[in-house]
Structure 1
Amino acid sequence: MKDQTFLVRFRSSIILMIVTVTAMILGGEVLFGLLLAISLIGMMELYRVLKMNKSILAFTGYIFCILFYMLVYFSKTELIFPLLIGFLLALMGVYVFSFPKFHSDQVTLVYFGLIYVGIMLSFIYRVRILENGILLVWMIFIGAWGSDTCAYLVGRKIGKHKMAPILSPKKSVEGLFGGIFGAALIGFLFATIFKGKLTAINNPQVSFEIIGGCSAMISTIGDLAASAIKRNHEVKDYGKLIPGHGGILDRFDSIIFTAPIVYYLLQVL
């Protein structure tokens, strides 16, 4: 049974990796369309926590997610704040005119969903369209998945002090530092290999070390935050879209947090 579970998980990981690599290399409309689809599915998974993924509130969230991505695609980012205000007004309109069908916590979750899933994931596309974006975008995954692998290996070998025993009993403080230093090292090596092609970054080796370490710290918060939401609502997985892994939010929980961090660190380094 364990072998079968491992094979399912491994197969899904390979497929996910192929899709990810292909989308990152192609970029453009392919990546944009994939991220929009992932964001909508992720929001649906989150809304399902309160059993409202098919409600009019949820569909309001889906519509504004599409509108948000259109602003990003056409580089109208100055309209994002007005969009968020409009989204809040639309949700409150649905809330008051259908009262008492929905509760205030449901309205809050729908609003939170657009920011937590849609807006945060869009930074993958925003990093990809930067100069040298075809290389820079991989720092998002190094900070999330790379650090997770390093944290697992270090934690398994020397982990003794529990970091968040209630949310994730297997995570250790030693694993956290292993993930941070591991992501920083991978970032340094990555920059060393592609140094000649990273023309838009000053001192890419140092910059990628910093980005790798910082995004690794933030990715841990993303992972634990997703677990906390599930624990609050007694949900094991957000979905079953990815066999062996769960839903979109189960696999992209740390990516959600590392994407904007990488984008903004690239602006200042």
Structure 2
Amino acid sequence: MFKQRLISGIILVLIAAFGLYMGGIVTFAMTLIVALIGYSEILKIYHIEKSSLAVIGYTGTILYYVALLFDLEQWTTAIIILFLIFLLGCYVVRFPKYKVDQMMAGFFGFVYVAVMMSFIYQIRELQNGGEFVVLLFLAAWGNDTLAYCTGMLIGKHKMSPILSPKKSIEGLVGGIVGAAILGALYGLYLNTYIRFSFNPVTMFPIVCGLGGAVSVIGDLAASAIKRDSGIKDYGTLIPGHGGILDRFDSIIFIAPVIYYLTVMISGGAI
């Protein structure tokens, strides 16, 4: 099991690294595919992944991403509103085929997965986006790894006994501090060959620390959804890891946070 988990984890990291390194249409396509798969995992919980609601959801996701691709930001909010209108229209026309929780899951999944996931691509498209997108993984996966290590070493006080019995307050602090340290080290490295309009050695720790703190909420929220739905994993796509959302739950949650923080510290340069 460990070997399978390790191999699939390495493959996942390599695919993600390649897609983000290439940028442009490659990053766009990778993010869209991951968003569609993740959205389908939410819909499967409510048994509507092959329904009319799903067709509207997949279509809305594609249209939203196309608007981003062609830099039609003025259309993104309109697409979200139109998506909700069509979703409610389908709910009314097909009533009582779909339940209210299924209709709400269709909208929630669209915003939670498709819209929030899109900020990975949007970060990559920023000026110096190739460097900024690394902050996303330092904050999420760095926090997760260092929180685990800290918790294993000195963790004594349970943070959320019901949702995640193994997480500790010591691990929470260790993960956030560790993510901030990783941000500082990364900023120190970049500062040797890239001239930013800000000091990355002081700003990147703040970005990674805040991102790490928010990622904890994302991780626990994902656990709450699974427990409330009576499932162990969102899917089986990634051997040993579960579904897309099992690996990207924290990434999804903090992508908008990292995007807006990097825009703020870089003076809004896009």
User: What's the TM-score once normalised by structure 2's chain length?
Assistant: 0.96
Q: Are 2:95 and 1:99 equivalent residues in the alignment?
A: yes
SS at match of 1:91: helix
SS at match of 1:171: strand
Deviation at 1:197, TM superposition (A): 4.2
Unmatched runs of 5 consecutive residues or more in structure 2: 266-270
- Residue matched to 2:61: 65
Question: What RMSD in Å do the two structures reach over aligned CA positions?
Answer: 0.9
The CA deviation string for residues 152-210 of structure 1, in whole angstroms up to 9 with x for no partner, is 00000000111111111000110011010000000000010111444344011111010
Q: Which runs of 4+ in 1 moved over 3 A?
A: 196-201
Q: Are 2:107 and 1:111 equivalent residues in the alignment?
A: yes
SS at match of 1:149: helix
How far apart are the structure 2 equivalents of 1:210 and 1:103?
Answer: 43
Q: Which amino acid aligns with 1:69?
A: Y
Unmatched runs of 5 consecutive residues or more in structure 1: none
SS at match of 1:137: helix
The 5-angstrom pairing of residues 174-193 of structure 1 reads 174-193=170-189
SS at match of 1:82: helix
User: What's the TM-score once normalised by structure 1's chain length?
Assistant: 0.97
Percent identity of the aligned residues?
A: 48
SS at match of 1:75: coil
How far apart are the structure 2 equivalents of 1:165 and 1:188?
Answer: 32
Q: Are 2:144 and 1:148 equivalent residues in the alignment?
A: yes
- Residue matched to 2:236: 240
- Residue matched to 2:6: 10
Q: Which amino acid aligns with 1:225?
A: A
2:227 pairs with 231, 236, 258, which one? 231
Q: Assess if the C-alpha contact under 8 Å between 1:132 and 1:198 holds in 2.
A: no
Deviation at 1:150, TM superposition (A): 0.4
Q: Assess if the C-alpha contact under 8 Å between 1:131 and 1:200 holds in 2.
A: no
Q: Which amino acid aligns with 1:68?
A: Y
1:252 pairs with 234, 248, 256, which one? 248
Q: Which amino acid aligns with 1:161?
A: H
How far apart are the structure 1 equivalents of 2:187 and 2:242?
Answer: 33
SS at match of 2:235: coil
- Residue matched to 1:41: 37
Deviation at 1:61, TM superposition (A): 0.5
